[in-house]
Amino acid sequence: MKIDKQTLDDLEFTTIQKWLQNYAISDSAKEKMQNLQPSSDREKVLSELHKVNELLSIRTEGETFPRIEFEELLEEIKLLPIKNSAIQLEGFMRVYSASMLINNLLYFFDKRENDYPLLSQLIGTAYYTKEIIDAIQMVFDKHGKVKDDASDNLLYIRTNLKSIKKQINRNFDKEVRRLRKDNILGDTSETFINERRVLTVLANHKRKISGSVVGSSKAGNYTYIEPQINVALNNEYELLLDDERKEIFKILQVLKTELLIHIELIKDYQRILVEFDFINAKTRLAIELECCLPAISEELEIEIKNAFHPILLKNNNSQKKKTLPQQIEMNKFARMLVISGPNAGGKSITLKSIGILQLMLQSGILVPVHPNSKMCLFQNILSDIGDNQSIENELSTYSYRLKRMNHFLQVANKKTLLLLDEFGTGSDPDLGGALAEVIFEALYNKKSYAVITTHYNNIKLKANQLRNAVNGSMLFNTETLEPRYEFSMGQPGSSFTFEVAKINGIPDDLIEEAKNKLSDNKVKMDKLLSDLQKEKSYLNKLNKEHIEAQDIAENARNTYTEKKEQYEHKLQNMRANSEFNQKHIHAGKKLSSFIEKYNINTKKKAINDKLLEEVRKYLAVEKSKIVASKQKEKLKKSGGLAKSKKKTLANNQKKKDPHHIEKIKVGSRVKMIATKQIGVVEEIKGENVTVSFGFARMKVKLDKLMFVD
């Protein structure tokens, strides 16, 4: 993909890069952000997008992920192979921290290869090891200082240093106590010179002190003297410090040799951590702007829902202002989108939104759109936005734009996305409009994709005439005479020139005089567009109210049905309980009658035989009823299962085409599933259907319609 610098500037892509640089930690990742550019390499772009999306999933799904905090290892990687080179203590700790972080990342991605394949593959070039960590821990303590026992010799040296230091301090304190009694010390009895404790002696008493004079105060009032008793000890102490430095150098050289074995792994640490930093910066931006990964189509098509311009969104969020989302659709049947409407109504923002989102996507950055959106990859993205007068080449704005347009005509192809703001302006309206129309047709014939904003009626008419072009407009509130900053596909918009002039305080008599200077056709055309937009706004309002009323009615019906079912179920349970209770009451009465008849006062055994026989018959009859009831229930259950299977089969057949799409043909009445609008099919081309909704014609996907009659 050939990068057009002017397009990056026009669409403010550098602002996105600066945000990402602020989110990055390492200088290498910041540099990568600075050099970040869009690409048309599908495999590369998808890989970058999915890496960010995987890390976004980890961050948003509450996984305990290691913090990407590290310092780069470039200096250490350079010095490790060089014999006798000295790596700073902090350098070893940087390697230690990097090894710890990589080990934590490896532990996190262990057994998660299927969940996060690309990030697992990224870190897969490294391997888990404790050797680097253990080697550094043998030398350094947790504060990054060389341990006393890093070697036997260092332990011996530091033991002597502590002993001598202790003796020096003991001697010095003794001298201070002795001399203070004689009142020959200054107010601050001691100070440090060259890291040695020295006495602050009143200048007129300096000859009374045995020791080495090492300096005096600026005013000459005090003389600084090192007590004689500590001179030899301080010299020995400095010799031991030198021995310590040499021993530490030896220890670190041994450690460096141990780390050199892992030089390739340490290089991997640097590469992996910078890459994670790079991906993490993109992820942090995605979280802030609520970005996602839309479907990436292999075809050249855009279907973005709830799309936001990232810079506008961030600015509005910082001011706690609401940002209106955009819904935009482009495909091979609607590849030239002409946007018209009032000034300051949001045409340029809509155009720039498409452009910046496309640049972000092709740079491997997630975009602020609805997850159900669909985008694609273009080979070229070219723009002509704003006033780009060239002082250096002494070109006027119009001349510059013509040269730019000539460049587009040379390089544009069917995989090019053009973004042309205020197309054709800068010259005589009639002449400029005619030239713009010709260029528009030339770009159309190259099968390019384009988003064009214009006030020229001839461009709007041309878009309506060309088969694969489509008009769109920025909506205008005709009641308040204010722009709504909402985009609507399907029809051109009025510039609302006179309405905008009115709300900006231009007197009515001047507006009427201006209208009189225009041709009747032009005034009628603008009024027609204005009336159409008013009518469409009114119909949209009615449609919205109708949908809301339908939803309320549907919710009420569902509530009624649900309560009815609850009451019926409750009534059925009550009836069942009543039958159950009646049955047991009857059985209880029968048994009670048997009990009353039973004679317990007779000695004759046969006197109750007749009664017992009657009881046995009754029990047998009741038992047979229970058995028969169970069999009946079993048969009913098996029959119900068969009926249920038939019902499920019928439902599955219905689900295959619930909206009877196969019945839709030219002349059919159809309903938009989303908006419930009913229209008539005028043309069917593959999956694309042209539908007439009264005064408006729209191109709609077949699966977004349902057959009416």
pLDDT at 501 over 70: no
Ranking 225-234, 491-500, 557-566 by mean pLDDT, the lowest is: 491-500
Q: Is 671 helix (H, G, I), strand (E, B) or coil?
A: strand
The verdict on 142 and 47 lying in the same domain is yes
* pLDDT confidence of residue 105: 95
pLDDT at 411 over 80: yes
Sequence-separated (6 or more) residues with CB below 8 Å from residue 330: 301, 302, 303, 337, 449, 451
Residue 446 lies in a domain: yes
Residue 519 lies in a domain: no
Number of domains in the chain: 5
Asked whether 673 and 704 are in contact (CB, 8 A), the reply is yes
Selected residue with higher pLDDT from 631 and 359: 359
pLDDT at 655 over 60: no
The verdict on 322 and 471 lying in the same domain is yes
Show the domain range for 160.
151-247
The verdict on 357 and 452 lying in the same domain is yes
Residue 530 lies in a domain: no
Give me the residues paired with residue 489 across strands: 472
Question: Which pLDDT band, with edges at 50, 70 and 90, does 389 fall under?
Answer: very low
Residue 373 lies in a domain: yes
Other beta carbons less than 10 A from residue 533's beta carbon: 23
The verdict on 271 and 390 lying in the same domain is no
The verdict on 350 and 462 lying in the same domain is yes
* Percentage of the chain lying above the pLDDT 90 cut: 44
Both tokens assigned to 607:
């006197």
Question: Which pLDDT band, with edges at 50, 70 and 90, does 527 fall under?
Answer: low
Averaged pLDDT, 326-348: 85
**Of the spans 188-192, 270-274, 466-470, 478-482, which averages the highest pLDDT?**
270-274
Query: For the segment 22-65, what is each residue's pLDDT rounded down to a tens digit?
Result: 999 999 999 999 999 999 999 999 999 999 999 999 999 888 89
Residue 559 lies in a domain: yes
The verdict on 225 and 274 lying in the same domain is no
Residue 319 lies in a domain: yes
Sheet arrangement for strand 696-701: 696-701, 688-693, 678-685, 669-672, 705-707
Mean pLDDT of the chain: 84
Query: For the segment 675-685, what is each residue's pLDDT rounded down to a tens digit?
Result: 667 888 888 88
Query: For the segment 424-471, what is each residue's pLDDT rounded down to a tens digit?
Result: 666 656 677 788 889 999 999 999 999 998 888 888 888 888 999 998
Question: Which pLDDT band, with edges at 50, 70 and 90, does 294 fall under?
Answer: very high
The verdict on 277 and 424 lying in the same domain is no
Question: Which pLDDT band, with edges at 50, 70 and 90, does 622 fall under?
Answer: confident
Asked whether 265 and 80 are in contact (CB, 8 A), the reply is no
The verdict on 353 and 402 lying in the same domain is yes
Query: For the segment 95-106, what is each residue's pLDDT rounded down to a tens digit?
Result: 999 999 999 999
* pLDDT confidence of residue 107: 94
Asked whether 270 and 101 are in contact (CB, 8 A), the reply is no
Query: For the segment 352-379, what is each residue's pLDDT rounded down to a tens digit?
Result: 999 999 999 999 999 999 999 999 999 9
Question: Which pLDDT band, with edges at 50, 70 and 90, does 225 fall under?
Answer: confident
Alpha helices (runs of H) in 371-475, residue ranges in sequence order: 397-411, 429-445, 457-465
Both tokens assigned to 23:
């989110």
The verdict on 135 and 36 lying in the same domain is yes
Residue 535 lies in a domain: no
Residue 59 lies in a domain: yes
Selected residue with higher pLDDT from 104 and 222: 104
> What distance in Å separates the CA atoms of residue 552 and residue 560, rounded to the nearest whole number?
12
Alpha helices (runs of H) in 507-519, residue ranges in sequence order: 508-517
Averaged pLDDT, 393-411: 76
The verdict on 72 and 138 lying in the same domain is yes
Question: Does the predicted model carry a pTM greater than 0.85?
Answer: no
Query: For the segment 528-541, what is each residue's pLDDT rounded down to a tens digit?
Result: 555 555 555 556 66
pLDDT at 393 over 50: no
Residue ending a domain, among 186, 216, 247, is 247
Both tokens assigned to 279:
């991906």
* pLDDT confidence of residue 344: 61
Query: For the segment 123-167, what is each residue's pLDDT rounded down to a tens digit?
Result: 999 999 999 999 999 999 989 999 999 999 999 999 999 999 999
pLDDT at 552 over 90: no
